[in-house]
Amino acid sequence: MKSTWQKFQVRYSSSPSSKRWLARQDRDQFVKKAQSQNYRARSAFKLLELDQKYNFIKPGSVFIDCGAAPGGWSQVISRKLLDIPTEETNTNLNSNLIIAVDLLPIEPIPGVNVLQGDFTNISTQQKIKELLKGRDADVVVSDMAPNFSGQHFIDHVKSMELCESSLNFAEQVLRSGGTFLCKFLMGESDYEFRNNLKTKFDRVRHEKPQAVHRKSTEGYFMCLGYKK
- Indicate the angle between helix axes 44-54 and 29-36, nearest 10 degrees: 90
Should residue 107 be labelled a site residue for ligand SAM when binding is judged by CB under 6 A? no
Angstrom distances, CA of residue 32 to CA of 35, 182, 216: 5, 25, 20
Nearest one of 165, 207, 156, 225 to 46, comparing CA atoms: 207
Task: Give the interface size with ligand SAM as a residue count (CB under 6 A).
Answer: 22
Should residue 185 be labelled a site residue for ligand SAM when binding is judged by CB under 6 A? no
Cβ proximity to ligand SAM: between 96 and 159 the closer is 159
Q: Are 173 and 163 in contact (CB under 8 A)?
A: no
Among 5, 30, 34, 44, binds ligand SAM (CB under 6 A): 44
For residue 121, the minimal CB distance to ligand SAM (Å) is 8
Among 56, 72, 114, 115, binds ligand SAM (CB under 6 A): 72
Contacting range for ligand SAM; rule: CB under 6 A; set: 86-94, 141-149, 202-210, 220-228:
141-149
Among 97, 144, 181, 204, binds ligand SAM (CB under 6 A): 144
Which parts of 73-92 interact with ligand SAM (CB under 6 A)?
Answer: 73
For residue 122, the minimal CB distance to ligand SAM (Å) is 12
Q: What are phi and psi of 111, to 5 degrees?
A: 75, 5
3-state secondary structure 22-75: HHHHHHCHHHHHHHHCCCCCCCHHHHHHHHHHHCCCCCCCEEEEECCCCCHHHH
Cβ proximity to ligand SAM: between 40 and 138 the closer is 40
Q: Could you say which of 7, 183, 215, 227 is catalytic?
A: 183
183 is catalytic: yes
Angstrom distances, CA of residue 50 to CA of 44, 73, 207: 10, 11, 8
For residue 88, the minimal CB distance to ligand SAM (Å) is 29
Q: Are 131 and 113 in contact (CB under 8 A)?
A: yes
Pairing relation of β-strands 137-142 and 62-66?
A: parallel
State the catalytic residues: 183
| Chain positions contacting ligand SAM, by CB under 6 A | 40-41, 43-44, 67-73, 101-104, 118-120, 143-145, 162
